Amino acid sequence: MKLQSPRGQLDPTVIPRYAGFATYGRLPRLEDVDAARIAVLGVPFDSAVTYRPGARFGPAHVREASRLLKPYNADLDIFPFAATQVVDAGDVACTPFDIGAAITAIEYRADELAAAGLRTAVIGGDHTCALPMLRALHRRHGPITVLHFDAHLDTWDSYFGAAYTHGTPFRRAAEEGLIDREGSLHIGIRGSLYSATDLIDDSALGFARITCPQIEADGIRAALERMHARLGGRPIYVSIDIDVLDPAHAPGTGTPEIGGLTSRELLLFLRELTGYRIVGADVVEVSPAYDHAQLTGIAAANLVYELVCLMAATEPAVAA
């Protein structure tokens, strides 16, 4: 009896979705294949959060929710797990007691996967992980266009004197010269700020913004056109904080903000990225303790799936 597809995803008509190991999408582990092109990597780290903790349990929660995923994406017309070898690369062993050491561990693992020729989609964990991912990618691609979906800017300077937190990764990345300041973009920004200068500082760091109030006023099509106008032919890192979604769609997160995107709107943004050169991605800040009926976990699992599909669509065709 055949239990797997040609590239290792368990067949749900043979092994029920609720059975078997909970790898992402019930895919094979990295160590179980001879070669791979796309890796899903867990980063169970949340020691740099500033409000509600719990995102360290996000990778396991999202993997469990990913049992529902099917092999064909009709909207993008792709069988991502058949088009190329996608694997679950396990978790980074992050210490919860030392933010700097955890960042170093994430960067080291990202470097290992990149050196092996894999593009990586991260499941967080808190948003701190974006900085080490960008460091690793910058070494291979130069300045990276950051397409950042979030309720919050994450370009603040520090919290309680700490320079490395989930609210500061993109300021540090800009200061280190990791990002492309002509193409980087926040989408979904909303809510209260610390000061009017937050927006001035954010612009000076190289980010443009499409806010939720702008999307409401001008419509989703205008927002999509603005996104295309901002992005170019540069390598893109897509970073999704799950709190970009309204709490009605994703309650299980650490810093929820009302007035967010719907899950359908976020899918529209992602599916417009077909053909873009996505070199890495993350979906972060899923905090299972605040989730209800797996709403947030299911949303995150499907967002990772869309990102993997976008990456798989630009991989060279390989025979099964």
Residue 225 belongs to some domain of the structure: no
CB 10 within 8 A of CB 3: yes
CB 285 within 8 A of CB 243: yes
Residue 184 belongs to some domain of the structure: no
Residue 74 belongs to some domain of the structure: yes
Predicted pLDDT at 318 = 53
Predicted pLDDT at 1 = 34
- Please write the tens of the pLDDT for every residue from 166-215: 999 999 999 999 999 999 999 999 999 999 999 999 999 999 999 999 99
Residue 14 belongs to some domain of the structure: no
The percent of residues above 90 in pLDDT, for the chain, comes to: 90
Predicted pLDDT at 4 = 53
Predicted pLDDT at 319 = 47
**What is the CATH number for 249?**
3.40.800.10
Residue 270: give the domain boundaries: 24-143+235-313
Question: How far, in Å, are 187, 196, 297 from residue 203 at the CA level?
Answer: 14, 12, 32
Residue 102 belongs to some domain of the structure: yes
Residue 121 belongs to some domain of the structure: yes
Residue 170 belongs to some domain of the structure: no
For the chain, residues with pLDDT lower than 50 are 1-3, 319-320
Look up tokens 């933010």; give the residue.
99
Number of domains composing the chain: 1
- Of 237, 267, 28, 266, which is closest to residue 120 (Cα–Cα)? 237
Task: Report DSSP state, residue 261.
Answer: B
Q: Which two tokens stand for residue 168?
A: 């500061």
Chain-centroid distance, C-alpha 78: 20
Predicted pLDDT at 317 = 57
Predicted pLDDT at 5 = 60
Residue 190: strand pairing partners? none
Q: Which two tokens stand for residue 193?
A: 């700020």
Residue 190 belongs to some domain of the structure: no
